Structure 1
Amino acid sequence: MVALQAVSGAAFLDQLINGLTIGMVYVLLAAGLSIIFGVMDVINFAHGELLALGAYLGVAITTAGIGNFWIALLVAPLAVAVLGGALERLTIRPLYGRDPLYHILLTFGLVLIFVDAIELVWGTQPLRPIDTGVLSGTISILGFQKTLYSYFVILMGSVVAGGAWLMLERTRFGLVVRAGSMDRDMVRHLGIDIDRYYTLVFAFGAFLAAFGGVVLAGRQSVGPGMGGSVIIPAFIVVVLGGLGSFRGAVVGGLLVGVVQVLVQWQVPFLEGLVVFLLMIGVLLVRPQGLFGSPEWHDPGEGGELLTAAGSGVLSGRQRRLIGGGVVALLAIAPLGIGVLYGSYAVNTIIVDILIWGLFALSLDLVMGYTGLVSLGHVLFYGLGAYATVLFALYLVPSIWLALLAGILVASLIAWVVGYLSIRVSGVYFAMITLAFAELFASLALKMPSLRRQFNPAISSLGLPTVPPLTNGEDGIGSGGFYYLLDSGPEFGDVALLGEIHLYYYVIVALVVGSYLVSRRLIDAPFGSVLQAIRESEQRASFLGYDTTMYKRRAFVVSGALAGLAGGLRATQNLGRASPGFLDWLLSGEVIVMTLLGGMGTLYGPMVGAAGYLSLEELLLSNGIEQWQGVLGIVFVLFVLFVPRGIVSIPALVQARTTAQSDAPPEDDSTEVKD
């Protein structure tokens, strides 16, 4: 018994060291995120790619014979820090004073650029871990052996984190940074160039991320998805500890690392679920995190959310005529198959645009009209897809009832998530919706494991066991049930509408109908209240409106439309749904489309979806493999220079033309003196 306890204690200590090792990497990543947010109010979604870039540079330095692990540990983070400073000056600095949403959007565009740039330089195959030399050896402590590198990571991470804290709290640089985070204008009036300090802060955050990347590359292989795999845990860390809190980043990083390892060790089928539940619980009970408000941060109210409403040059009648013309073109599009273009143009490209346009429209209801940034909106899209497929597979094989089931399930979950989430606002709302989406995505992957764990117990009670619901990574399908649509009418022996074409018209009708219903809601008093909440929730509340109720209702309607979009995508995908429908990057893409077209207009996001997917198709058809990077560049330019989206471009051109025509003519005459 004593020997067994000793072995268990040694095993626990072994797992604890593993957790502290991983947690220290999270500390390095989350500390940079917290510092940047605490000082600059910037949520940097590209932070994970900075870690990945540091890892790749570290591998390149060691494999090219330029230096060893120690050289890589210094040079790679410094190089990424220089890049981070340049990014701050060129892209982030112009956005100061705008709503924090634009920082999220901009850095998501940077993610697309970094991912493709890394693949362009280093390829898509994983690279071997960095040779850590003498640190790869083992050392025996308390009766069990552990690699020396694990202790090195814990020690080095502690030194770097401690040094960062001392720099922020005990140096003149830290004093200026803390003062600037509380009152930027006051620091400027004292004659201090606070913008230069902000550049240094962003560069320092990039340094910490890249340092963590090199450290991580000494433990595992380096691959293209490395940045995306760590950014979500990093956000969990900063939310748990408190956005902007350096102490919170340290404690949260170690806590998440240890919890992940212990759960994987003892209850592996719950791995990936516990940390999201922990994040949601903290946000609901204590939105400011375990350590409360940041130690030196006063965010203020943020800038204006620049919507495209009212920025057009067309009258309402002209817009209706154009809309009717677009619908007419969609109606006759199948008639051109085999004459003007192939079936791919209609059954794939146009259908993709319609479905993504509906998804973007659903997001616009909460983001463009209510001012709620939902980073987890893909949750309702994915649930709509799964519910549609499961209903047709296990209940009634009817596309109409299956789509209705998808809408109802997405609406129900949207009500639950909205009921819990609407009580927080701003960045915290964005984070809690992301947490819910990641929780369901992890659950979709873990469902087969959960079935294996609980079905025997359920069966022993004489109850029916749980059937396959997701099939994990393989996804689940109903066998292409969209063919259950009746064929179209016939004239003689010629079918006027084939099954595929009839399905196309179903999508057109549902998308157009959804737009008309949404337009009716926005034009009603309900929509006016939503826009009042977006402009000033406090003012709307003073006028007697229950703003929480209105936001929840808008969230449910938005979730229902997203569920319909997901159901249509599943039917187009031969009646299959997979965890890819719940990938958080899809939320980022639909936000890109919404801003690209012009949020706050309903039709703008649909235009943005058409532009985004058309550009993607153009790049792919021309053999450009780095199409995501090109889209990222286009999106970053739009965020910087055309924040109101594509639909605002005619107004910008008209304003520029009017300004030039109204300018007084230059006097080129010269006075001749005798």
Structure 2
Amino acid sequence: MLELPLVTAGETLDQFINGLTVGMVYVLLAAGLSIIFGVMDVINFAHGELLALGAYFAVAITTAGIGNFWVALLVAPLAVAIIGGAMERLTIRPLYGRDPLYHILLTFGLVLIFVDAIELIWGTQPFRPLDTGVLSGTITILGFQKTLYSYFVIVMGAVVAAGAWLVLERTRFGLVVRAGSMDRDMVRHLGIDIDRYYTLVFAFGAFLAAVGGVVFAGRQSVGPGMGGSVIIPAFIVVVLGGLGSFRGAVAGGLLVGVVQSFVRWQVPFLEGLVVFLLMIGVLLIRPQGLFGSPEWHDPGEGGELLTAAGSGVLSTRRRRLLGGGMVAVLAIAPLGIGVLYNSYVVNTIVVDILIWGLFALSLDLVMGYTGLVSLGHVLFYGLGAYATVLFAVYLLPSIWLALVAGILVAALIAWVVGYLSIRVSGVYFSMITLAFAELFASLALKMPGLRAQINPTLDSLGLPTIPPLTNGDNGIGADAITYGLTGGPEFGDVSLLGEIHLYYYVILALVVGSYLVSRRLIDAPFGSVLQAIRESEQRASFLGYDTTMYKRRAFVVSGALAGLAGGLRATQNLGRASPGFLDWLLSGEVIVMTLLGGMGTLYGPMIGAAGYLSLEELLLSNGIDQWQGVLGIVFVLFVIFVPRGIVSIPSLVKQRMDSSSEAPPEGEPAEVSD
């Protein structure tokens, strides 16, 4: 039976103080995140890395003997504020006026850069918590002991939050910032350099995050990945309180901290699930959050989503011939094993490109053609992997039936998630898909604990118990998945229907088939409606189309294809699925690939996947450990300068050449028309 421990008033108060302490760290992080969005409409995925930088700078200051905890608390946030200001000026400022999607994409690229930069400078080993001096002592209040540091965090967080609110609401700086968030051009016409104020706002948000990082470093060890571990809770906080609402960030941070503390104490196997369910519930019932956006926030419509459609220089016929030639090259690729390259090139690198290309293709259907930015698309990829493996484990070890099961499960969950998520739009849609993905990822980790709690009750009632479904961190795998085919033609030492090469052709056929089906859908009236929705959903609705229905159908097809990609990846992974298949960073990577290649084309994202993975392999083969940082730099440059992706480069070059040829010779005046 599921039993909850008996509690006392002292224990309850102790957990409440723990929750407030953690909540104040969330407040400091989420407040900066919310201010930046409320003023600048920028969703900053690199905000967690700014917190991590604050923590690492504090470690550097204290371990180098430059100063103690108090010096670090002042100096580290100022240093991070300078870095934040530079981020805004160099990378984010060129994107103002574009669709908010580009801010998300850009800051994800910055995450890759910051993570590798931190590991390059400080290594991969964690550091001990900071020495907080007298704050490490204990104090007795109402009969129980608590570290003085916990009370310090609560008081300091409250003071910093109150000071930030006063700056925004009671100073000239805050007045200009609030006016600029509503009408930037109007403020600029008044002779005020609003861009400089935006830089200061971003630096201020970075400062708050770094303060949270220093406080965090005083409680627990500092190590790689800490930024990624706090950014999802930070988004939960700002969504619960209301995107752009400072008061909401404070209330949401304290609420999440207290809820996490009590759930961890009373029902630890539900930790992580409750807050995501809370986030989903708030987004469905009240998307603007508990407090909503402040009155001075007016997000507007945003700029155009820059797809790569129509940016090519080749005719449709030539593109088809080129695509057919590429498929032919891939079909004979196994014949070069042992002659031109080893089997690793075909059975690992090329297979990875094909699977990720299919995953990116699936995302392009909803992002490039429908304008829906799904930050949780990894959910369907992971579900496809798990469903494929579980079918092979408990039913039949046939790869064909197992893959069908993965597709169906992913499509079913995509229908449910799409039915709920498409009620909201824009940033809220992105956040709710992320919440669903994190909910399932947490569930995959918690499943063994849930089984341990539920199975005794089911057994006592004479009901069937729940079999192992995920095995937590260990993952679950099938001993063997059969193809149902053996033998086949042989070319030298290469058997084209041998177990390994048969799998290669299975993937190639499924990926090419998926592309052809997707192309058929996009070329049909269904695809035309999707593109009309992307351009202007309101106009499409006025024309009589049920835009919600079309978006849901596209979401289901996209989820099914992502499930197929996950199933293929699981079978490539020796028939094993693990929580890593649901890591939210995979959603970021596939978004990078989609934009890198050129979204809105179907083939562009596949090219982006090939370019991304090929560059990764090149960097790794040359011993460059910071390959993610290099990829991040490349991606950031593409977002800023080549937002339509790789497939648009030939047209850009052609335009440049045409403009050069039309320019008059040097020293000769240009012709002036009447």
Pair in the same fold by TM > 0.5: yes
Aligned AA (1:280):
I
CA deviations over 1:366-406 (Å, ceiling 9, x no partner): 00000000000000000000000000000111100000000
- Contact 1:485–1:503, Cα closer than 8 Å, also in 2: no
Corresponding residue of 1:489: 488
SS in 2 for 1:99: coil
Corresponding residue of 1:397: 397
- Partner Cα distance (1:268, 1:180) in 2: 45
- Contact 2:35–2:244, Cα closer than 8 Å, also in 1: yes
Corresponding residue of 1:93: 93
SS in 2 for 1:139: strand
The residue correspondences of 1:475-624 to structure 2 (distance < 5 A) are 475-481=475-481, 483-490=482-489, 495-624=495-624
Two-structure CA RMSD over aligned residues (Å)? 1.3
- Contact 1:182–1:296, Cα closer than 8 Å, also in 2: yes
Aligned AA (1:559):
G
Corresponding residue of 1:27: 27
The total of aligned residue pairs comes to 664
Aligned AA (1:400):
W
Deviation, 1:336, is 0.3
SS in 2 for 1:393: helix
State whether structure 2 residue 139 is matched by structure 1 residue 139: yes
Go from structure 1 to structure 2 and tell me whether the alpha carbon gap of 1:492 and 1:443 turns closer, same or farther (over 3 Å shift).
closer
CA deviations over 1:521-549 (Å, ceiling 9, x no partner): 00000000000000000000000000000
- Partner Cα distance (2:293, 2:230) in 1: 24
Deviation, 1:639, is 0.1
Corresponding residue of 2:238: 238
- Partner Cα distance (1:668, 1:328) in 2: 51
Aligned AA (1:132):
T
Aligned AA (1:302):
G
CA deviations over 1:213-233 (Å, ceiling 9, x no partner): 000000000010100000000
- Partner Cα distance (2:571, 2:170) in 1: 60
Deviation, 1:7, is 7.2
- Partner Cα distance (1:617, 1:491) in 2: 30
Deviation, 1:275, is 0.1
State whether structure 2 residue 350 is matched by structure 1 residue 353: no
Corresponding residue of 2:638: 638
SS in 1 for 2:224: coil
The residue correspondences of 1:379-528 to structure 2 (distance < 5 A) are 379-481=379-481, 483-490=482-489, 495-528=495-528
- Partner Cα distance (1:433, 1:491) in 2: 47
Deviation, 1:499, is 1.0
- Contact 1:441–1:579, Cα closer than 8 Å, also in 2: yes
User: Is 491-500 or 99-108 further displaced after alignment?
Assistant: 491-500
Go from structure 1 to structure 2 and tell me whether the alpha carbon gap of 1:91 and 1:478 turns closer, same or farther (over 3 Å shift).
same
- Contact 1:30–1:253, Cα closer than 8 Å, also in 2: yes
Aligned AA (2:376):
G
SS in 2 for 1:146: strand
CA deviations over 1:178-237 (Å, ceiling 9, x no partner): 000001011001110000000000000000000000000000000101000000000000
CA deviations over 1:157-189 (Å, ceiling 9, x no partner): 000000000000000000000000001011001
- Partner Cα distance (2:543, 2:271) in 1: 47
Structure 1, unpaired ranges of 5+: 670-674
Identity score, percent: 88
Deviation, 1:464, is 1.4
Corresponding residue of 2:332: 332
Deviation, 1:666, is 1.7
Deviation, 1:487, is 2.0
- Partner Cα distance (1:300, 1:491) in 2: 62
- Contact 1:407–1:561, Cα closer than 8 Å, also in 2: yes
Deviation, 1:245, is 0.1
Deviation, 1:412, is 0.2
- Partner Cα distance (1:452, 1:664) in 2: 79
Aligned AA (1:486):
L
Deviation, 1:295, is 3.4
Deviation, 1:352, is 0.1
CA deviations over 1:117-142 (Å, ceiling 9, x no partner): 00000000101111000000000000
- Partner Cα distance (2:60, 2:653) in 1: 47
User: Is 495-504 or 457-466 further displaced after alignment?
Assistant: 495-504
Deviation, 1:479, is 1.8
Corresponding residue of 2:269: 269
Deviation, 1:665, is 0.9
SS in 1 for 2:131: coil
CA deviations over 1:42-82 (Å, ceiling 9, x no partner): 00000000000000000110010000000000000000000
- Partner Cα distance (1:237, 1:661) in 2: 55
- Partner Cα distance (1:446, 1:126) in 2: 25
CA deviations over 1:432-469 (Å, ceiling 9, x no partner): 00000000000000000000000001111111111000
Corresponding residue of 1:364: 364
SS in 2 for 1:26: helix
- Contact 2:37–2:243, Cα closer than 8 Å, also in 1: yes
- Contact 1:480–1:576, Cα closer than 8 Å, also in 2: no
SS in 1 for 2:8: helix
- Partner Cα distance (1:623, 1:12) in 2: 52
Q: Which runs of 4+ in 1 moved over 3 A?
A: 490-496
- Partner Cα distance (2:479, 2:396) in 1: 13
Corresponding residue of 1:294: 294
- Contact 2:362–2:561, Cα closer than 8 Å, also in 1: yes
- Contact 2:485–2:497, Cα closer than 8 Å, also in 1: no
Aligned AA (1:88):
E
Deviation, 1:668, is 6.9
- Partner Cα distance (2:336, 2:442) in 1: 43
- Contact 1:374–1:433, Cα closer than 8 Å, also in 2: yes
- Contact 2:19–2:257, Cα closer than 8 Å, also in 1: yes
State whether structure 2 residue 105 is matched by structure 1 residue 105: yes
- Contact 1:480–1:571, Cα closer than 8 Å, also in 2: no
- Partner Cα distance (2:302, 2:73) in 1: 37
- Contact 2:383–2:410, Cα closer than 8 Å, also in 1: yes
- Partner Cα distance (2:226, 2:382) in 1: 24
Aligned AA (1:372):
L
SS in 1 for 2:650: helix
Go from structure 1 to structure 2 and tell me whether the alpha carbon gap of 1:6 and 1:413 turns closer, same or farther (over 3 Å shift).
closer
Deviation, 1:488, is 3.2
Deviation, 1:354, is 0.1
- Partner Cα distance (2:639, 2:380) in 1: 26
Deviation, 1:293, is 2.6
Deviation, 1:485, is 4.3
Deviation, 1:490, is 4.9
- Contact 2:38–2:293, Cα closer than 8 Å, also in 1: no
Go from structure 1 to structure 2 and tell me whether the alpha carbon gap of 1:152 and 1:528 turns closer, same or farther (over 3 Å shift).
same
Deviation, 1:492, is 12
Deviation, 1:667, is 2.2
- Contact 2:496–2:502, Cα closer than 8 Å, also in 1: no
Corresponding residue of 1:672: none
- Partner Cα distance (1:503, 1:589) in 2: 25
The residue correspondences of 1:184-199 to structure 2 (distance < 5 A) are 184-199=184-199
Corresponding residue of 2:47: 47
SS in 1 for 2:140: strand
Corresponding residue of 2:672: none
- Contact 1:488–1:502, Cα closer than 8 Å, also in 2: no
- Partner Cα distance (1:293, 1:540) in 2: 28
Aligned AA (1:290):
L
Deviation, 1:252, is 0.1
- Partner Cα distance (2:489, 2:395) in 1: 31
Go from structure 1 to structure 2 and tell me whether the alpha carbon gap of 1:492 and 1:144 turns closer, same or farther (over 3 Å shift).
closer
- Partner Cα distance (1:480, 1:198) in 2: 57
State whether structure 2 residue 672 is matched by structure 1 residue 665: no
